[in-house]
Structure 1
Amino acid sequence: MNDTRRSALVIGASRTLGLGLAAELLRRGWDVIGTVRGGGRTGLHELAETSDGRLTVESLEMTDPEQVAALHERLRGRLAGRSLDLLFVNAAITRGDLPIGEVPTEMFTEVMVTNALSPMRVLETLRPLVAPDGTLGVMSSDQGSVSLNTEGGQDLYRASKSALNQLMRCYAARNAEDTRTLLLMDPGWVRTELGGPEAELSVEESVPGVAETIERHRGKPGLHFVDHEGQVVPW
């Protein structure tokens, strides 16, 4: 990893938004470490092969605290005293559009652990790797906004993103002296497995704005809930 280039760790970078963000950061001159689940070949592996060594791939099941701790130890050794400029957690799941009263307990637990608890565990465990003027970010959604929810639907997914937002708010309050930037990022309504085929934006249309917003907020401590155009999202 080059000492003079900015460096990022993107959790959940095997496809769609995570892969797009890794590619966009490379295009902007960053060095990138991206994580994938399991041992199969992904688009991130293909991107790494054309990156001139600027992208490396790590395996991580984000919901497994032991794997997160092991990743911390591997990266601490690799970085050898250097720091990351960005830690960004992208991973999330949805399990369909059920009214909350019809959601099985197991499904509720799976979505909440993946979308809310695990991203925060990752931030808590890996934040020592991030520079004091760096950025800790998670992929949120305007569906996590309570005030914007005027139509309902997607009860469980909305609840998981609202929980993530609240946990980030708790983290920010508990670490008020931290000089790092904290970002809750809304990428817009994007045509992914989560967003569906009717969504307004392609990954290619969303991701440059996400990267630009990340770069513009560097050096601005505190918690920011913003979208891919840099606009503040209401809580």
Structure 2
Amino acid sequence: MSPTSDRQALVIGASRGLGLVLADELARRGWRVIATARREDGGLRALAEVHDGRLTVESLEMTDPGQLAALRERLAGRRLDLLFVNAAIDRGDVPIHEVPTGVFAEVMITNALSPLRVLDTLHDLVPPGGTVAVMSSEQGSVSLNTEDGYELYKASKAALNQLVRSYATRQAHDGRTKLLLDPGHNRTALGGPDAPWEPRDTVPALVDVIEAQAGVPGLRFLDRHGDSVPW
């Protein structure tokens, strides 16, 4: 990994919630951070001003391959110590047989397909010894799926985990650290107001895990304590 003052990260999906706090936490620790948002975002821009050059903002609709290709061109020549994909949607607690086909496709494209497009498009900016990471969830664990509810969201995260595992198999000898991370149940627009944790409680621990795992090649599915999450 690069010296502390020279570490560079790209956080995909940083306009709010976990992604916003993640970008802030990395910048606080001395990383140089590129953070993306789908549209002009006052909160992220304000954060960039606070960090005075250590955090820059790029526009990206992750589900648009054209925008993703344009971002890759803009980042040509950069070297990233960390590529972190944080983006997901949820369309409510609806039994799977009642989910409209269009909604099913929207959630799967956003939560599973698009993160893998990001990895395959941008991972060559991450040299051997760097880290590619994706925000997953315990909800994507097949073996832990023992309670009713949120069937589509669970399925999308399970699909994400499987696709990242396939990606890791294809890239088994690239020397990069690969992480699927479970942040726990956070009070965000996605997690809802009754969740037990605030992102400020959990994200610093996630960054501790990222930094501790740096330079260890292979794929791991870990929670914010660094413990393995069952597949």
Q: How big is the shift at 1:42?
A: 2.7
Aligned-partner Cα distance in 2 for 1:90–1:41: 16
Give the aligned partner of residue 227 of structure 1.
Answer: 223
Q: What do the CA deviations read for 1:100-159 (whole angstroms, capped 9, x no partner)?
A: 000000000000000000000000000011121100011000000000111121000000
Q: What do the CA deviations read for 1:16-56 (whole angstroms, capped 9, x no partner)?
A: 10000000001111000000002x23311000011121100
Q: How big is the shift at 1:193?
A: 1.3
Determine helix, strand or coil for the equivalent of 1:133. coil
Q: What do the CA deviations read for 1:77-103 (whole angstroms, capped 9, x no partner)?
A: 5x3xxx100000001000000000000
Q: How many residues align?
A: 229
Structure 2 counterpart of 1:223, which letter? L
Which of 198, 209, 222 is the aligned partner of 1:213?
A: 209
Aligned-partner Cα distance in 2 for 1:178–1:153: 38
Percent sequence identity is: 65
Determine helix, strand or coil for the equivalent of 1:101. helix
How high is the TM-score relative to the length of structure 2? 0.97
Determine helix, strand or coil for the equivalent of 1:168. helix
Aligned-partner Cα distance in 2 for 1:120–1:42: 28
Aligned-partner Cα distance in 1 for 2:86–2:164: 14
Give the aligned partner of residue 7 of structure 2.
Answer: 6
Which of 97, 104, 107 is the aligned partner of 2:100?
A: 104
Which of 161, 173, 198 is the aligned partner of 2:194?
A: 198
Please tell me whether the aligned partners of residues 15 and 42 of structure 1 are also in contact (alpha carbons under 8 angstroms).
no
Question: Alpha carbon RMSD of aligned pairs, Å?
Answer: 1.2
Which of 120, 125, 131 is the aligned partner of 2:116?
A: 120
Aligned-partner Cα distance in 1 for 2:228–2:42: 33
Aligned-partner Cα distance in 2 for 1:28–1:136: 18
Which residues of structure 1 form unaligned runs of 5+? none
Aligned-partner Cα distance in 2 for 1:21–1:143: 20
Aligned-partner Cα distance in 2 for 1:56–1:217: 25
Give the aligned partner of residue 50 of structure 1.
Answer: 50
Which residues of structure 2 form unaligned runs of 5+? none
Q: What do the CA deviations read for 1:201-232 (whole angstroms, capped 9, x no partner)?
A: 10100110111111111011111100111111
Q: How big is the shift at 1:178?
A: 1.4
Q: How does 1:49-198 map to 2 (within 5 A)?
A: 49-77=49-77, 79=78, 83-198=79-194
Determine helix, strand or coil for the equivalent of 2:130. strand
Structure 1 counterpart of 2:159, which letter? A
Asked if 1:24 corresponds to 2:25, the answer is: yes
Q: How big is the shift at 1:170?
A: 0.6
Structure 1 counterpart of 2:19, which letter? G
Question: Where has structure 1 moved over 2 Å in runs of 4 or more?
Answer: none
How high is the TM-score relative to the length of structure 1? 0.95
Aligned-partner Cα distance in 2 for 1:196–1:172: 32
Structure 2 counterpart of 1:101, which letter? H
